[in-house]
Structure 1
Amino acid sequence: MRRVVITGAGTINALGASVAETLEAMREGRCGIGRLDIRDVDRLTVQIGAQVRDYDEAAHFNRQQIALYDRFTQFALLAADEAIAQSGLTFEGPLAARAGVVMGTSGGGLNTQDENYRAVYEDGKNRVHPFVVPKLMNNAATSHVSMQHNLKGPSFTVATACASSNHAMGQAFQMIRAGMTDVMVTGGTEAMLCFGGVKAWEGLRVMSKDACRPFSATRNGMVQGEGAGMFVFEEYEHARARGAEILAEVAGFAMSSDASDIVMPSKQGASRAIAGAVSDAGIPLESVGYINAHGTGTAANDKTECAAVADVFGHHANDLMISSTKSMHGHLIGGTGAVELLACLMALRDGVVAPTIGYEEPDPECALDVVPNEAREARVDVALSNAFAFGGLNAVLALKRA
């Protein structure tokens, strides 16, 4: 099977409008969570989120594009532009036909849905814009990235709730490794921070009203975020032949289903995905130095994830660093794994492990090294990125230092 490497990365999220800004914020342990600036925020019980602040769509897109691009599509396009620019690739001729897009999202064009439900049901309008469907459909971001960059190979969208990005990147990895494609633009995007998006999550009673404190005994729930993370995955020999800078190697991927409960996580399901990714990478368990945790800050997720890590790694679990960057950029739902993969790249390339901020008090059920509150310098050769979704759908990626 062919090797797969990452040659480009891009993002926009609550921590920054680029990879450089985001990694700087992670190194500093900066928090992107604050009071939401959205319509009818006073009607919400949960009024905080990790919002992309000071964002002006007109600075990036013209009026015709804005009529077609929901916020989640705009984020994906900006992140993809950055990733492809870093890769140095131009998609023309045969390469265009062997390059595609796989993207994860959970809500798709939720802002467009929210606005048009208001127009029809609250304002009593009988007509909506003719582009509402192509603007809100989950595959809109994938389609526009493919059109923007002439990507004519396999392209589709993955929707598996909070594991969408990892499932998408895993599929991109497998397609290149199997020889179906040479290059894939992949990642995830989400923009759920509208009134309807937050109100729906309130109903689950898993949301914090003040902060995201993963693994801390004082944690009281998750905090939503928004944004996108995009990467260029490329076949190793193809990248080497053109002298591309290699950010990391994608070494393994595994998926599992809990097949048990629609919202409660399962230690067994998570364990199978973690162990499967390590096995797929063909590496010993002891070589894993860092795990970017799913780490939502809910009581159920955090203790289940820590139990799964301990189950898979045994005594080595005590030597692992495991942090949740959701404490800084919030939970981007379908886009979260993509932004979190940046923390894995930082650990592998720069030797800096992002912290779990907001950590106040140890929890005996989360007795691992969660890199509390401050980033740490350490050599990391292998990193894992965990994603465990509602519906019991799990996806774990394994990365190696280039």
Structure 2
Amino acid sequence: MPKKIVVTGIGATSPLGGNARDSWNALLAGESGARPIEADWVAALELPITFAAQAKVPAVEQLARIEAKRLDPGSQFALIAAREAWEDAGLGEDFVPERFGVDWATGIGGVWTLLDAWDTLRERGPRRVLPMTVPMLMPNAPAAAIEMALGARGGARTVVSACASSTESIANAYDHLQQDLADVIIAGGSEAAIHPLPLASFAAMQALSKRNDDPATASRPYDLTRDGFVLGEGGAAVVLETEEHALARGAKIYAEVVGGAVTSDAYHITAPDPEGSAAARAMIRAIEHYGYSRTDITHVNAHATSTPVGDIAEYNALKRVFGDHLANIAVSATKASTGHLLGAAGGIEAIFTVLALHEKVLPPTINLSEQDPDIDLDVVREPRKIEGDVIALSNSFGFGGHNAVVAFKSY
């Protein structure tokens, strides 16, 4: 029999709030984290997109100055989220370092550090490049920062699978706990890519919303007028434990993780498979991992980026999995509020899914004025109360055809 794996701590810093609870409350209130970028480089470089979903509380305001200086912004977000989750879990000294691991994720890595260092090299010469440049820009830097700060000696792994990254990290943590590689794992992801180069690149591929005049309504999953995603940033962490370990120390438990799965499309580097077959397989494997049926699922936190092709591809995958039962599933598309946090997206959405089950309320999807008739879903538009035990999916799909799904159950 598989072990029971539970969530005992959550932490986040996002476009909606500087911690998990503030982010959740703003989500339920229907707020948007998207706003104009006030940096002078927007006008200087004549960027076609002038807004993003920036962190509500700057990371440098939440860390000691000397600590922030040695970390790329993506690692700063990681450390803030991980420390909150760790404190929330209440572990304190009650863990064995060799049985405590980190499964972290990023989609892009230390882009600010890399490109700032390149500018310094060109403009000021090699002697002015910081010696910490490589340790700061490497994709595993956030995982390293977490394991050193919290004393994890059971392994610190990093997933880089684009926008599926942090959901994959949670699925990996579930597997590693099942394999008895640890008693406690902190999992999640972080991203800080609101930089001129990613913005220009995403704009060039027509992936971003062009609603410069109204950022708050730009991310509109499933709407007929959706025109792209809103670039976001932040970090999100969950503490996962075996139920046995959690109960032995009297921990509070938010929810149970009942499955995780990863598949790949083998279709296109940026576009999802329009048939959604591999995405569907990921959902099915996550559901059946613990022996549940597809009809047991009543809630999905969808990937739902607000792109014309992405939203319909995920709908096709959902239809393939659930058939007529899809009418009984309440779908939340929370990127409408947070924007798209890339490698951190699945982490914040996992937290929203866990809190939905724990607090018995499903979060709303804002900015949905006229639902696309080709996407026949029961979309949650206002906070919706739920009762009883619920099993929910959190979906993430990324460039390269990466699909990751985690299933959570009320505890």
TM range (shorter): over 0.9
Q: Is the 8 A contact 1:253 1:281 kept in 2?
A: no
Out of 384, 406, 411, the residue aligned to residue 397 of structure 1 is: 406
Q: Secondary structure at the match of 2:96?
A: helix
Q: Report the CA distance shift for 1:368/1:180 in structure 2 as closer, same or farther (over 3 A).
A: same
Deviations, residues 147-199 of structure 1 (Å, cap 9, x unaligned): 11110002111000000001111111100012111110110000001112212
Matched residue, 1:242? 249
Out of 45, 50, 54, the residue aligned to residue 51 of structure 1 is: 54
- Are 2:30 and 1:29 aligned? yes
Whole-Å separation in 2 of the counterparts to 1:249 and 1:59: 30
* Residue type at the aligned position of 2:315: C
Q: Report the CA distance shift for 1:308/1:199 in structure 2 as closer, same or farther (over 3 A).
A: same
Shift of 1:58: 5.3
Shift of 1:200: 2.1
Shift of 1:69: 0.6
Aligned length: 398
Matched residue, 2:385? 377
Shift of 1:37: 2.8
Matched residue, 2:7? 6
Shift of 1:54: 4.7
Matched residue, 2:262? 255
Matched residue, 1:264? 271
- TM-score when normalising by structure 2: 0.94
Whole-Å separation in 1 of the counterparts to 2:314 and 2:174: 24
- Are 2:310 and 1:301 aligned? yes
Deviations, residues 93-131 of structure 1 (Å, cap 9, x unaligned): x7110111110101111111221222233x243330100
Shift of 1:12: 0.2
Q: How does 1:2-401 map to 2 (within 5 A)?
A: 2-42=3-43, 43-55=46-58, 57=60, 59-63=62-66, 65-90=67-92, 95-121=96-122, 123-127=123-127, 128-210=129-211, 211-266=218-273, 267-372=276-381, 374-379=382-387, 381-401=390-410
Shift of 1:91: 5.1
Q: Which runs of 5+ in 1 are unaligned?
A: none
Could you tell me the percent identity over the aligned residues? 36
Whole-Å separation in 1 of the counterparts to 2:354 and 2:377: 21
Q: Is the 8 A contact 1:2 1:179 kept in 2?
A: no
Whole-Å separation in 2 of the counterparts to 1:90 and 1:214: 40
Whole-Å separation in 1 of the counterparts to 2:309 and 2:202: 16
Whole-Å separation in 1 of the counterparts to 2:342 and 2:363: 20
Whole-Å separation in 1 of the counterparts to 2:198 and 2:271: 21
Whole-Å separation in 2 of the counterparts to 1:254 and 1:66: 34
Q: Report the CA distance shift for 1:265/1:56 in structure 2 as closer, same or farther (over 3 A).
A: closer
Shift of 1:56: 5.7
Q: Report the CA distance shift for 1:105/1:239 in structure 2 as closer, same or farther (over 3 A).
A: same
Deviations, residues 285-318 of structure 1 (Å, cap 9, x unaligned): 1221110000000111101111111111111101
Q: Report the CA distance shift for 1:282/1:38 in structure 2 as closer, same or farther (over 3 A).
A: farther
* Residue type at the aligned position of 2:74: F
Q: Secondary structure at the match of 2:136?
A: helix
* Residue type at the aligned position of 2:252: E
Shift of 1:39: 4.2
Deviations, residues 45-65 of structure 1 (Å, cap 9, x unaligned): 1111100145261552232x2
Q: Is the 8 A contact 1:7 1:245 kept in 2?
A: yes
Q: Report the CA distance shift for 1:218/1:58 in structure 2 as closer, same or farther (over 3 A).
A: closer
Bigger shift: 4-13 or 34-43? Answer: 34-43
- TM-score when normalising by structure 1: 0.96
Q: Secondary structure at the match of 2:304?
A: coil
Whole-Å separation in 1 of the counterparts to 2:174 and 2:186: 10
Whole-Å separation in 1 of the counterparts to 2:353 and 2:200: 32
Q: Secondary structure at the match of 1:73?
A: helix
Q: Secondary structure at the match of 2:221?
A: coil
* Residue type at the aligned position of 2:126: N
Deviations, residues 333-371 of structure 1 (Å, cap 9, x unaligned): 000000011221122011111111111112122110111
Q: Secondary structure at the match of 2:209?
A: coil
* Residue type at the aligned position of 1:158: V
Q: Is the 8 A contact 1:39 1:195 kept in 2?
A: no
Bigger shift: 95-104 or 123-132? Answer: 123-132
Shift of 1:205: 1.0
Q: Is the 8 A contact 1:48 1:209 kept in 2?
A: no
Q: Is the 8 A contact 1:251 1:400 kept in 2?
A: yes
Matched residue, 2:215? none
* Residue type at the aligned position of 1:13: S
Whole-Å separation in 2 of the counterparts to 1:173 and 1:230: 14
Whole-Å separation in 1 of the counterparts to 2:236 and 2:27: 15
Q: Which runs of 5+ in 2 are unaligned?
A: 212-217
Q: Secondary structure at the match of 2:379?
A: coil
RMSD: 1.4
